Structure 1
């Protein structure tokens, strides 16, 4: 999560320009990364952390998930499965190691006593309070949800699907080739310089092999593979 911005800054220092479309897996999702990309005119195509979970029936049926509650924009509150309001209690701010400040809205329900859904709604084993005394509460960054919604719209488009498919082909395929084909699973030398040297040799071997296959298949200059349309 904290490596995306340094990666992009390093690339810009070498290339003198920015990539306009940034495709990454769920591990890179954060409000800070979203905000950085937006401010630098780069479109994010990052899979949200909950993207796959949201498709599962268990997630959709989990009444304790904020996403499954009805949001009342007028009163800025959520309505739970028992018809009670999880109301806004105020905001709190936090700061990342890079100095990025996030603002989260705190929501809580003080009417959870005797709720028949409490066992399914309030989860977690870290609280010392017995379940009967606990109340529903959660924190939400509204800015993060706004940026995530924009990102989800992009990755759900045809272009987003194509870019995400090609990211999987290029990055995951490279890892597989290095580990399985080249059998490179650990460094032989010690120290930073030796590790860097082995990495460069490994990368060169992978790229030469990839170029050879492209020449054999006549696919030089092709950077992206189109999506296959199902019949």
Structure 2
């Protein structure tokens, strides 16, 4: 005996909500989007044209699709036709993939996502899922939607630009010397601008035009042959000058796109070429990508941002600024790995934000090894006389304080070093082991007092039982988010281009990870 099954019988449509399970993720998506204030959707209102789909419905549809690893507009459109939870969230509407793609890259969606993260954090606080004691910061690289071999390198552009300046200056001097064109007013004697190169091009075109008129009006074959021969040189100059104008324009556009970066992709100008961990050939190939920074607590992402530079050190301060301005007040402890440990970042957390940094530095683990502490040629293991302000080397020679040196890095941060120099290294039997400087020069020590104090402070914090335990939570708090995003959700590559559009899509993907975890925890 079978249950009744008849395809020819008409069945009345039922409410789709009855088909959903009690803890279905569609309810979590619905609850989150409904908490976003109505004012956030006012920017989508239009007085003319066909009535648009409600942005609440579009937000729910895209968020739910991302939780099911559907990232393309066509896949989302397909889910709207055959997924019960998507049908319920859309309430029977079926927006096309073009509408979906236009909505998720809309500039105003950025504010909706921000509001969504704020409301989600409030929801976590109300249910005591986070305790506001610390945030855990880390970054990962996400591949951009760009072709692999479309790179443009800053050093190459600078080299070709310098060569162009030399060639254009030499050609201009040659044109003046041969009296092909008259002199022009120059803004700078070092290089010709695009405007000046275009002016020279116009002069050469006029010169070639004069030759053309003379050739057409002349009836003498010998004279015409002579004029063609003279015109040949001007035409060659004109051809080269046109090439110079095009190249000069291109190089200036390239430098404007670079800004502070060393590379960009031709298919996505905001993407930078970075080393990815999924380099299967192990040959150091670079891919166009973005640096994703997140702040987590309880394995929930509370804030995120996208950066074009591959290193984490320089993203730390702007990311914390974004967290404070857009998301929430920073908790007492800020936890991050050694990639964020720098003098500038420690000063920012301790002095500017009045927080406690649980951030290691590059040599933290190395300094704890016996091989490091017993190395007599490391300055940190040398005897230091605080009263006389001098070091003593392994050979018993004194290195007194000489002067103060200042260094400025690429970001404009200034560091102060105290320079100590040995009195005399001549004939020292330990010279080759102690220093690599040339013979006749004495060993120097560049000692950064501020940095050494910060390192000692971090060592004390990480040695303490409470703060050491908080730092120990870092790996099990922030790392699983990246693992879930890439391995389980399958989000490893962007499907849109441009930093602002990428930021919107990344917001949907990260919130999808949050909702998946939240739903799983609620079910338990």
Please give the TM-score of this superposition, normalised by the length of structure 2: 0.38
Shift, 1:42, TM fit: 0.8
Aligned residue in 2 for 1:149: 456
Match for residue 115 of structure 1?
A: 428
Q: 2:475 aligns with which of 164, 168, 171?
A: 168
Does residue 8 of the first structure (1) align with residue 320 of the second (2)? yes
Alpha-carbon distance between aligned partners in 2 of 1:193 and 1:98, rounded to the nearest angstrom: 23
Quote the offset at 1:16 in angstroms: 5.8
Match of 2:520 in 1: 213
Question: 1-side partners of 2:375 and 2:523: how far apart?
Answer: 52
Contact 2:397–2:423, Cα closer than 8 Å, also in 1? no
1:63–1:121 Cα contact (<8 Å) kept: no
In structure 1, how many angstroms separate the alpha carbons of the residues matched to 2:320 and 2:503?
Answer: 20
Note closer, same or farther for the CA distance 1:184–1:133 as it changes in structure 2 (3 Å cut): farther
Q: Residue 339 of structure 2 aligns with which residue?
A: 27
What are the Cα deviations for residues 65-114 of structure 1, in whole angstroms up to 9, with x where unaligned? 11111111111111111111222111012345555432210122142222
SS at match of 1:18: coil
Instruction: Tell me what 1:140 maps to.
Output: 447
Residue 50 of structure 1 aligns with which residue?
363
Given that 1:28 and 1:46 are in contact with CA atoms closer than 8 Å, whether structure 2 keeps it comes out as yes
Cα–Cα, structure 1 residues 133 and 51, in superposed 2: closer, same or farther, change >3 Å? same
Q: CA RMSD in A?
A: 2.2
Alignment check: 8 A CA contact 1:70 1:78 kept: yes
SS in structure 1 at match of 2:473: helix
1:52 & 1:173 partners in 2: Cα distance? Answer: 23
The structure whose Rg is larger is: 2
3-state SS of 1:116 partner: coil
List runs of 5+ in structure 1 lacking aligned partners: 218-231
CA distance in 1, matches of 2:354, 2:498: 39
> Counterpart in 1 of 2:485?
178
Deviation at 1:192, TM superposition (A): 2.6
- Cα distance in 2 between the residues matched to 1:16 and 1:170: 19
In 1: Cα distance, 2:374 partner to 2:329 partner: 46
Residues 132-186 of structure 1 deviation map (CA, whole Å, 9 limit, x = unaligned): 4443222111122122222221121112222212222122222222222233322
CA contact (8 A) 1:22 1:42 kept: yes
More helix as a share of residues: 2
Which structure has more relative contact order (CA 8 Å, sep 6+)? It is 2
Q: Is the 8 A contact 2:349 2:356 kept in 1?
A: yes
From 490, 503, 506, give the equivalent of 1:196: 503
Structure 2 unaligned residues grouped into runs of 5+? 1-312
Question: How many residues in Structure 1 have an aligned counterpart in Structure 2?
Answer: 211
Residue of structure 2 in register with 1:225 after alignment? none
1:16/1:98 CA distance change after superposition, 3 Å = farther
